[in-house]
C-alpha cells in the first residue's frame, strides 16, 4: 500500500498518563475512531508533520505552557487543516480564555466533559480531506477481498 492510501488525518492525544485518552475512548462519539497516543510535544509535532489534517488533543501542563502557547500562535499558518483542543487539570482551568484566543477549538479541565470534545474530533476527522488513490488502489478498495 502506498502513502496515498493512508489518511491525512489522525486523532492525536498528547499527554503523560493516558487518563484523558481513556476517557475519550469511552465516549459514544469516539466509537470506531482510532486514537493515537503520544507522550511528548515533540512526538506530537512529529506525527502532525506526517498527518497535517489531524485533530490534536494536548494536555496543558505548567511546564510546557509557554511552548504550547507559542505553537498555537503559529498553528493556522503551519497546519491550516488541523485543529487543536486543550485538556488540563482543574488548577490550570483559568488558562481557558488564553488558549481559546490563541486558537484552541475546545478546552476542558474536567474528565466528565469529554463528550463534546469527542464529537468535535469525529466531525473534524470525517470532514478531513482524503488523499487521492492511485488507479490500482481504487480497484483494490472496490473489490470485496481488497486491501
Asked if residue 1 is part of any domain, the answer here is no
Asked if residue 147 is part of any domain, the answer here is no
Say which residue, 136 or 137, is predicted with more confidence.
136
Q: Summarize the confidence of residues 61-75 as an average pLDDT.
A: 92
List of E strands, the chain: 11-14, 35-38, 55-60, 83-88, 106-108
pLDDT in tens, 95-132: 999 999 999 999 999 999 999 999 999 999 999 887 77
**Which residue range(s) make up the domain with 32?**
6-142
The Cα-based distances of 138 to 7, 53, 127, 130 in angstroms read 14, 22, 20, 13
In the predicted model, is pLDDT for residue 142 greater than 90?
A: no
Query: What is the model's pLDDT at position 50?
Result: 92
pLDDT in tens, 12-63: 999 999 999 999 999 999 999 999 999 999 999 999 999 999 999 999 999 9
Helix/strand/coil (H/E/C) assignment for every residue in 37-56: EECCHHHHHHHHHHCCCCEE
User: Where does the pLDDT of residue 146 fall: very low under 50, low under 70, confident under 90, or very high at 90 and above?
Assistant: low
Asked if residue 128 is part of any domain, the answer here is yes
Asked if residue 130 is part of any domain, the answer here is yes
User: Where does the pLDDT of residue 7 fall: very low under 50, low under 70, confident under 90, or very high at 90 and above?
Assistant: low
Q: How many independent structural domains does the chain possess? A: 1
Q: Which CATH number do you get for residue 36?
A: 3.40.50.2300
Q: Which of 42, 116, 48 is nearest to 81 (CA)?
A: 48
Query: What is the model's pLDDT at position 6?
Result: 42
Amino acid at each position: 500500500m502506498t502513502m496515498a492510501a493512508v489518511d491525512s488525518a489522525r486523532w492525536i492525544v498528547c499527554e503523560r498518563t493516558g487518563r484523558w485518552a481513556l476517557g475519550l475512548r469511552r465516549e459514544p462519539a469516539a466509537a470506531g475512531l482510532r486514537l493515537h497516543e503520544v507522550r511528548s510535544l515533540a512526538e506530537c509535532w512529529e506525527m502532525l508533520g506526517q498527518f497535517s489534517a489531524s485533530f490534536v488533543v494536548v494536555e496543558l501542563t505548567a511546564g510546557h505552557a509557554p511552548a504550547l502557547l507559542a505553537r498555537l500562535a503559529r498553528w493556522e499558518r503551519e497546519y491550516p487543516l488541523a485543529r487543536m483542543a486543550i485538556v488540563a487539570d482543574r488548577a490550570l482551568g483559568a488558562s481557558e480564555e488564553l488558549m481559546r484566543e490563541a486558537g484552541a477549538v475546545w478546552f476542558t479541565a474536567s474528565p466528565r466533559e469529554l463528550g463534546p470534545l469527542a464529537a468535535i474530533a469525529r466531525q473534524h476527522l470525517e470532514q478531513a480531506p482524503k488523499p487521492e488513490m492511485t488507479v490500482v488502489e481504487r480497484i483494490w478498495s472496490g473489490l470485496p477481498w481488497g486491501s
